[in-house]
Amino acid sequence: MGCIKCHSHETVASLSSICWDVYEIQTTIKIDSVPSLTCNNCQFVHINHSVKNEIEDRFMLVDSSKVPNSITYNQLMNQDSLLKNNLF
């Protein structure tokens, strides 16, 4: 995939830190080691929409008040879900 900013094809898979606004508890949580792409040409970091959707979906399934202010992507994905049964 090419860079969406400078259109270079010199992108590499990387892990980035982001801040995520959690409106339910009116705070921002730092998420480390988020899968992303970094452009070697302009240094732009891009996080795929599917990864953003996974994070957003996860925050809907966990008790946000129990998520620490700083967490890794994998730790967030492994947080206990409020849904105990498979509803689908």
In the chain, % helix, strand, coil (3-state, to 5) comes to 25, 35, 40
Q: What is the pLDDT at residue 23? A: 87
Render pLDDT for 56-68 as a digit per residue (tens, 0 to 9): 999 999 998 899 9
Contact 27, 69 (CB under 8 A): yes
* Token pair in block for residue 66: 């129990």
- Burial-class residue 2 by CB neighbours within 10 Å (0-12, 13-18, 19+): middle
pLDDT at 74 over 90: yes
Residues in the chain: 88
Least confident of 25-29, 58-62, 79-83: 79-83
* Token pair in block for residue 43: 């240094």
The ranges assigned to domains in the chain are 11-77
